[in-house]
Structure 1
Amino acid sequence: MSELRERSDAELLALHVDGDPDAFGELFGRHRDRLWAVALRTMGNPEDAADGLQEGMIAAFRRAGSFRGDAAVTTWLHRVVVNSCLDRLRAMKVRRAEPLPDDLEERADRGALVSATDVELDPAQLTVADERRRMVLAALRTLTPDQRAALVLVDMEGYSVAEAAEMLDVAEGTVKSRCFRGRAKLAPLLGVLAPTGGDVPHAGNPPETADVPTTGPPRGPPADRA
């Protein structure tokens, strides 16, 4: 395993295709937290996010041989996971209204989801920060799946429009349009947060309020479901 840690993403994927039993697990472990962040914000709750992430990773596990190398491996992984999440959202069609889960703070120190300043806040401030995050998650769920995916990648995960377009397999202009429409819809919902420092999501400057806590992604490589 120590030898695998020295390998590049592309090398790990190639080793997996060649039959190495540990290569995909090492690759998944490297990018698990970022992929989980995208899945959680796109799906809106940990249960659906876990399903979306696992289905995406199973697809990547099985289709690794089709990777052509015309994009970075991490871009390809994001594309597979986002597509898996979007497929689930579209299949749901009309999502029933559900309260946000109470366990979003568990293991909140994993991944790129928690603001580094949170560890310095007192309990009262943490309560306010948690409520703001819940507002952002709830607001995101009002967007169409395509708008949500674009905003998550560009405004919250900090990818460029070009990178997001590659992950979503659409034109850059389409990403810009989805982000514009999504921000317009979020503005009245999250405008109450703006006076504290411009927390409404905006491209190129991921806001603190976008740092949604997570219950933590599934551990290890995905298990195929019977």
Structure 2
Amino acid sequence: MQLIDRAGPDRPQSGRTLDEPTLVARAQDGDVRAFEELARRHQEALFRVAVRVLGQRADAEDALQEALIDAWRRIGTFRGDSAFSTWMYRIVTHRCTALLRRRRRTVPLPEDDAPGAELLAGAGSPERAAEMDAELRALSRAVAGLPDDQRTCWVLRELEGLGYAEIAQITRASETAVRGRIHRARTSLTGRMRAWR
């Protein structure tokens, strides 16, 4: 997945890569290459979140592309109250949520980069691989069936490993609300996956 494909990062004459605060400051001054470098650094994680929230690669690409355009337009509003990555996660998850609201609910099949798909390669026997594939598809359907707010929080916590405070910043919810959403998502997924135990 390559959304940013321009020439390499903006580097000082010494050849060192610029730090993130410097890139943000340059981007805020209108430096497109600095923003492209910021996007390049974060696009893989942002795309992974978009795929896991939306369940479809094409939708995730659209959401990420729209989010990057939106971030470029709004880079001047970034105050540094949170990490740049947190700000970007917020924009991407907002785009994903908006897309989910616009489209009818469908149950997507997991794609190659769906949670756990890399496990199939090392499954051993074909029978075990088929069983794991079926379980991953069931999990993907269960995750897709979660309410949008629960799915977003669960993906950010369980698949991306973000802390509750950062998820609260991203979703603009209280930490207590985030914990509640994740708890409800885990309870729901446990119930839906009971047959696989």
TM range (shorter): 0.7 to 0.9
- The residue type equivalent to 2:88 in the other structure is L
Cα separation, 1, equivalents of 2:62 and 2:115: 19
Decide whether aligned partners of structure 1 residues 159 and 98 sit closer, same or farther in structure 2, where only a CA change above 3 A counts.
Answer: closer
Percent pairwise identity? 35
Q: Which residue of 1 aligns with 2:6?
A: none
Q: 1:3 aligns with which of 7, 11, 20?
A: 11
Change (3 A) 1:170 1:99: closer
Pairing partner for 1:100 from 86, 89, 109: 109
Match of 1:51 among 62, 71, 78: 62
Q: Of 60, 82, 87, which aligns to 2:98? A: 87
Amino acid at match of 2:137: R
**What secondary structure does 1:32 align onto?**
helix
Normalised by the length of structure 1, the TM-score is 0.73
Q: State the Cα distance separating 1:130 from its structure 2 match.
A: 3.4
Tell me whether 1:134 sits opposite 2:120 in the alignment: no
Match of 1:40 in 2: 51
1:167 counterpart = 2:178: no
Q: Is the 8 A contact 2:150 2:181 kept in 1?
A: yes
Given that 2:93 and 2:171 are in contact with CA atoms closer than 8 Å, whether structure 1 keeps it comes out as yes
What are the ranges of 5 or more consecutive residues in structure 2 without an aligned counterpart? Answer: 1-8
Cα contact 1:13–1:27 (8 A) shared by 2? yes
Alignment pair present for 1:178 and 2:178: no
* Distance in 2 of aligned mates of 1:50 and 1:164: 22
More helix by share: 2
* Aligned mates of 1:99, 1:119 — CA distance in 2: 21
Q: Mark the runs of 5 or more structure 1 residues left unpaired by the alignment.
A: 196-226
CA contact (8 A) 2:52 2:155 kept: yes
Ranked by relative contact order (alpha carbons within 8 Å, sequence separation 6 or more), the top structure is 1
Q: Letter of the aligned partner of 2:147 in structure 1?
A: T
Query: Which residue identity does 2:98 align to in structure 1?
Result: D
Maintained 8 Å contact 1:147/1:182: yes
Q: Which amino acid aligns with 1:100?
A: L
Q: What corresponds to 1:223 in structure 2?
A: none
The verdict on how the C-alpha distance between 1:98 and 1:174 changes in structure 2, with shifts beyond 3 A counting, is closer
Match in the other structure for 2:82: 71
The Cα RMSD (Å) is: 2.4
Q: What is the TM-score of this pair, normalised by structure 2?
A: 0.82
Aligned mates of 1:115, 1:90 — CA distance in 2: 27
Distance of 1:116 and 1:140 partners within structure 2: 18
For the residues of structure 2 that align with 1:182 and 1:49, how far apart are their CA atoms?
21
- 8 Å Cα contact 2:67/2:92 also seen in 1: yes
- Say which one has the larger Rg: 2
Runs (4+) of structure 1 exceeding 6 A deviation are: none
* Cα pair 1:13 1:24 within 8 Å, conserved: yes
SS of alignment partner, residue 11 of structure 2: helix
Kept after mapping to 2: 8 A contact 1:118/1:126: yes
In the alignment, the residues of structure 2 paired with residue 90 and residue 139 of structure 1 have an alpha-carbon distance, to the nearest angstrom, of 18
Partner of 2:37: 26
Provide the secondary structure at the position in 1 that maps to 2:189.
helix
Residue 155 of structure 1: aligned partner: 158
